[in-house]
């Protein structure tokens, strides 16, 4: 799962294992929630924006306004996740954690999916405004 890093409280053991199994020169693609937009969601539209209400604390558990998520699968079926929560991983934790384990950043991309012209408070508008996900590509050093 591309965003699985956000479902564990500490990403460093994951980075240790990735480094252990990658050969020198190997590539690691990481996609995770943008920590700066993490506790905002489309249901928190206040007429001006999507407020972030909690400090940027590594490992902080994030709960959401809705008590369930509806996730559309590739086959168009919908799965409900009850009581969703994630953990915030700050940019210094992610970036320094990988660099300290011998990874070299190759590229980074914000993933602003969505429609800036969509109705405020909709998922499409929220995604266009907040850039909710970050993707980075790393190479294991020799």
DSSP letters, 31-99, are EEE-GGGTT--GGG--SS-----S---TT-EEE-SSSEEEEE-TTS-EEEEES-EEE---HHHHHHHHH
Check residue 40 and give its pLDDT: 83
CA distance 138 to 102: 10
Written as tens digits, the pLDDT of the chain (142 aa) is: 567 899 999 999 999 999 999 999 999 999 999 998 888 888 889 999 998 888 899 999 987 767 787 888 889 999 888 877 889 999 999 999 999 999 999 999 988 788 999 999 998 999 999 889 999 999 999 8
Domain boundaries, the chain: 4-140
Helices 12-21 and 91-99 pack at an angle, to 10 degrees, of 30
Which CATH superfamily is 4-140 part of?
Vaccinia Virus protein VP39 (3.40.50.150)
Check residue 65 and give its pLDDT: 66
Given a contact cutoff of 8 angstroms between Cβ atoms, the answer to whether 17 and 122 are in contact is no
Closest residue by Cα to residue 111 from 76, 86, 136: 136
Check residue 134 and give its pLDDT: 93
Q: What is the pTM of this model?
A: 0.83
Check residue 89 and give its pLDDT: 96
28-57 in b/e burial notation, b at 16+ Cβ within 10 A?
bebbbbbbbbbbbbbebbeeeebeeeeeee
Given a contact cutoff of 8 angstroms between Cβ atoms, the answer to whether 131 and 33 are in contact is no
Check residue 41 and give its pLDDT: 80
Closest residue by Cα to residue 37 from 1, 88, 85: 88
């Amino acid at each position: 799962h591309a965003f699985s890093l956000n479902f564990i409280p500490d990403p460093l053991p994951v980075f240790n294992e990735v480094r252990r199994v990658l050969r020198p020169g190997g590539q690691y693609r990481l996609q995770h929630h943008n920590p700066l937009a993490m506790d905002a969601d489309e249901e928190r539209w206040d007429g001006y924006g999507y407020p972030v209400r909690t400090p940027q604390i590594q490992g902080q558990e994030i709960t959401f306004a809705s008590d369930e998520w509806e996730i559309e699968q590739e086959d168009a079926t919908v799965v409900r996740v009850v009581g969703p929560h994630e953990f915030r991983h700050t940019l210094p934790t992610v970036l320094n954690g990988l660099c300290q384990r011998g990874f070299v950043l190759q590229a980074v991309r914000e993933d602003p999916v969505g429609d800036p012209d969509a109705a405020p408070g909709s998922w499409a508008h929220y995604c266009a405004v907040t850039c909710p996900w970050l993707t980075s590509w790393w190479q294991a050093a020799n």
